[in-house]
Every structure is written in C-alpha cells, then in structure tokens.
Amino acid sequence: DTTIFWFRRDLRLTDNAGLYHALRDNKPVVPVFIFDTEILDALEDPGDRRVAFIHQTLAELKEQLETLGTSLVVLYGNPVTLYRSLHPRAVYTNHDYEPYARARDNAVQALLEKKGVAFHTCKDQVIFDKDEVVKDDGKPYTVFTPYSRRWKARLTPFYLKRYPVEKYTGHFKKIKHQPFPALEDLGFRGTGASFPERVIRTGIIEKYDRTRDFPAIQGTTRLSIHIRFGTVSIRRLCQVALRKNPVWLNELIWREFYAMILWHFPQVQTASFKPAYDRIAWRNDPAEFDRWCTGQTGYPIVDAGMRELNATGFMHNRVRMITASFLTKHLLIDWRWGEAYFGQKLLDYDLASNNGGWQWAAGSGCDAAPYFRVFNPALQTKKFDPDYAYIKKWVPEYQDGAYARPVVEHAFARQRALNTYKKTLG
C-alpha cells in the first residue's frame, strides 16, 4: 500500500508541488527516480555533462532523504516497462511538457489505471500552464508582449504559494539506504566539470537590466540548469523577481511563453512556425557547419561563444543570439542543424526554449526578429565586448586585428542572406 513519488525535472525536496500532494494525502510514500533508457540511449556522448549533473544531484537528494529516515529508489530502464512490475497504491509526479515525456506519461497512466492504480500529476515547473494564459477567445498568444501582459495580470499570490513539503516528511516510508549506481554503471563517465551553483544572486538580479548583455561579466544568474532540472523552485524565483527586478521576471515569462508555444504548436519541433521559411534554400555546407561547431569561423565573437559552449555547456544569451544568427544568416545553414548542436551541448537544454531561440534567430518563429535583421558580429562585439575580454578568454590566439581568415566576408554574406530570404519570402 505504498505510494510512489516519481522525481523527474523537479529534483528538490522544498516547495515541490507533486511531492507535497503525495505526502499530504498518503502514507507511506517512497521516492523514486528512473534513469530513462529512452532518453539515455539517445545521448551520443558518454561524457554528457547533464547526466553527470543529474547523477550528482540525485546523490545529494538521496542523502537528504536518508536523514529523514527514508531513501531514494533509483531504477534504470524504460519507465513503462518498469511500471508493469510495480504495484503501488498510487503514483504522484509533476507535469512534464516535452512531447516525448507527454507520450511516456500517457502510456504510464493508461497502464497504471488498468491495474487500478491512480496516477496524479501536478503543475510545478511553470507558474501558468498552457491554457491558463490565453486570449479572450481562448486561443493561444503568438506574440510575447501581450502574452506577458496577460501573464502578469493573472498573477496573484496564490500562484506563488510555497508547498510546505517539510510539514509531512513523517509520511515518507522508512526504508534502508538504497543502492546507488555509479555513472559508469549507466554507461557514462564524469568529466570533472563543475556546474553553476544553485545560488540565487539577488545582487545580479537587481542590476540585471544593466549587466545582462555583457558576456565578459557574470551579469546573468546562470540559474538555467537549475531551472531546467527543478533544483530551484520557479515560484521562489518569481517571488524574487517581483521584489527585485521586473526585467528579470520577463525572462522567466519568455520561458513559459515558449513552453506554451510548444504545447499548442507541437509541429515547431521539426517545422518552422512560419511555414514559408521551410522553403528557404539553405546552403547547408558541412565543412562550414563544422567550422561553426568548433569555433573556427574567423569571427572572434562567434568562435568565443562556440568554444565556451564546447568547453562548459553554457553560452551567454547575447552570444547565443549572435552565433545562431551567424549560422542561419551568414552561413545559410538550416536552423535545425544549430538547434540540434545546441541540444547536444547545452547544460540547460530545453526543447521549448532552444527551439524558440533558434526560430527567433532564423526569423521563422513566432514573434521573431524580422529576417532582414542580420547581426553584424563586429558591431555586436563593439557594443557588448568592447575591450575583447570575453573573446580573449575563449580565443586566446586572438590578437587585435590579426586573426584567422573569416569563413565568409560579412557584407557579402549579409547580402546573400537578404537575397535568399527575400527570394523565398518576398
């Protein structure tokens, strides 16, 4: 008669909606995490840092649970198959919105319900779900500003209320310490990489609108990996944002905007939001793509960004915009190639935000930059890395004026992009 709480993108004990409901309404509750082989098998790099991050976070979570007299049951396999042989009274978890996760959860739910086991899932990752912020006629927004206005108008303290898990920790099942797989047991290895700390730096948030665009300084919070895996609560972050800086709140709303778009328009996963953009005659030159991936384009700001990404799994937002614009406009390579590469490398990889960011840069997305806006890497550098501090950090061989030959000349590439886009889009 045990109840399972299934951890996924919510790897924390505090202010966790699903965990709170599981414990409040049930006893005893066993915490479970499943290393989903459907996801792990698709990863190409045994040194994938995200698996290492999850692994490290689970070790911490398990330790915390053990101080509460319970533990963490870590399973490995296909969740649908695993649930076939489990017979709990109920399963609680938090909503996951990505298309794969939705299909998996539907399958798990159908299977459990056939066995008479209830499957409860709660909203935890976002403040507002897909259909909570819609237009008066019930249709989804496709432009950010009116969406964000409605989002803010809908916000009441109710939506930011903390779920006090700690009130019910007595409802965890008392179990002995559970075995914990090594990364190697899962087919992965550690890289010794360090991860952005789980610290909400209010000083950065207060100054955010003045510091956010300069990649050489830590002017953004670097909380994205923690938001991605739910090691911080989004309700807590919104509370801080409301107190400290509405500009930063907007960033959190962008994330929900893109999640909402992916929900209502799942075709964006593979197709341009604006269908006409799928007729663009991309050049898709593999050698040029390779130079972009490895940070060898001869454009120092682009190369710095790609090298930062390759070395750390992070890239500053300003530089994500520059590198994405460069790939899609200067090199005329299909945004899906860049999206997939970021998807392999980003620690904070999130299907909805990554797809939204890429389609924004390519011009093909909802509320995207107009296609005739082609970022000029030199001007971007002058504005946002004026003393080349970021560039010199990641491209040490860069010396003012003397650097590798550009893969393509800027003015030529700009004109070629405009011609190509114009030919298709008119």
**Nearer to ligand FAD (CB atom), residue 108 or residue 261:** 261
Kindly tell me which of 312 and 317 has the beta carbon lying closer to ligand FAD: 317
> Among residues 291 and 320, whose Cβ is nearest to ligand FAD?
320
Amino acid making up residue 181? P
Q: Is 254 in the site for ligand FAD (CB under 6 A)?
A: yes
In degrees and rounded to multiples of 5, residue 71 shows phi and psi of: -155, -170
255 is in an annotated binding site: yes
Q: What per-residue string of b and e applies to 308-322 under the rule 16 or more CB within 10 Å gives b?
A: bbeebbbbbebbbbb
User: Among residues 42 and 402, whose Cβ is nearest to ligand FAD?
Assistant: 42
CA distance 283 to 278: 13
b/e per residue 180-216 (b: at least 16 CB within 10 A)? eeebeebebeeeeeebbeeebbeebbeebeeebbbbb
- Find, among 164, 166, 165, 221, the residue nearest to 198 by Cα: 221
Whether 6 has a binding-site annotation, put simply, is no
Q: How far is the CB of 99 from ligand FAD (least distance, A)?
A: 15
By CB under 6 A, what part of segment 351-370 binds ligand FAD?
Answer: 353-354, 356-358, 361
From candidates 22, 34, 293, 321, binder to ligand FAD by CB under 6 A: 321
402 CB-near residues (< 8 Å, 6+ apart): none
Query: What residues act catalytically?
Result: 251, 254, 282, 317, 335, 358
Is 224 among the residues that bind ligand FAD (CB under 6 A)? Answer: yes
Site stretch for ligand FAD (CB under 6 A), options 9-17, 19-27, 95-103, 350-358: 350-358
Give the sign of the dihedral formed by CA 70, CA 73, CA 74, CA 80.
negative
CA gap 8, 122 in Å, rounded:
12
- Among 185, 231, 228, which Cα is nearest to 60's? 231
Q: Quick one: which of 180, 263, 282, 349 contacts ligand FAD (CB under 6 A)?
A: 349
The residue among 64 and 312 lying less far from ligand FAD, judged by its C-beta, is 312
Contacts of 124 (CB under 8 A, 6+ apart): 10, 16, 17, 18, 94, 95, 230, 234
Ramachandran angles phi, psi of 7, nearest 5°: -75, 140
Region of 76-84, 166-174, 267-275, 340-348 interacting with ligand FAD (CB under 6 A) = 340-348
Q: Are 384 and 317 in contact (CB under 8 A)?
A: no
Note whether 91 binds ligand FAD by CB under 6 A.
no
* 8 A C-beta contact, residue 239 and residue 160: yes
Is 249 annotated as a binding-site member?
Answer: no
Q: Binding to ligand FAD by residue 346, rule CB under 6 A?
A: yes
Among 34, 223, 332, 374, binds ligand FAD (CB under 6 A): 223
Q: Which residue is nearest to ligand FAD (CB)?
A: 357
Which C-beta is closer to ligand FAD: that of 62 or that of 222? 222
Residue 251 found at the interface with ligand FAD (CB under 6 A): yes
d(CA 351, CA 303) in angstroms, rounded, equals 24
Q: Exactly one of 255, 291, 336, 345 binds ligand FAD (CB under 6 A); which one?
A: 255
Q: How far apart are CB 203 and ligand FAD at their closest, in Å?
A: 12
Helix or strand holding residue 91 (H, E): strand 90-94
CA–chain centroid gap for 25, Å, is 31
Number of residues that make up the chain: 426
353 annotated ligand binder: no
- Residue number with CB closer to ligand FAD (16 or 359): 359
| 220 assigned to a ligand binding site | yes
Contact set for ligand FAD, span 392-411 (CB under 6 A):
none
252 binds ligand FAD (CB under 6 A): yes
HSE-up of residue 84 (Cα within 13 Å, Cβ side): 6
Which of 8, 50, 222, 330 contacts ligand FAD by CB under 6 A? 222
Q: Which stretch binds ligand FAD (CB under 6 A): 37-45, 134-142, 252-260, 365-373?
A: 252-260
| Token representation of residue 88 | 């709990």
- The binding site for FAD consists of 208, 220-224, 248, 251-258, 348-350
Which residues sit in the known binding site? 208, 220-224, 248, 251-258, 348-350
Interface residues with ligand FAD (CB under 6 A) are: 212, 220-224, 227-228, 251-252, 254-255, 258, 317, 320-321, 324, 342, 346, 348-350, 353-354, 356-358, 361
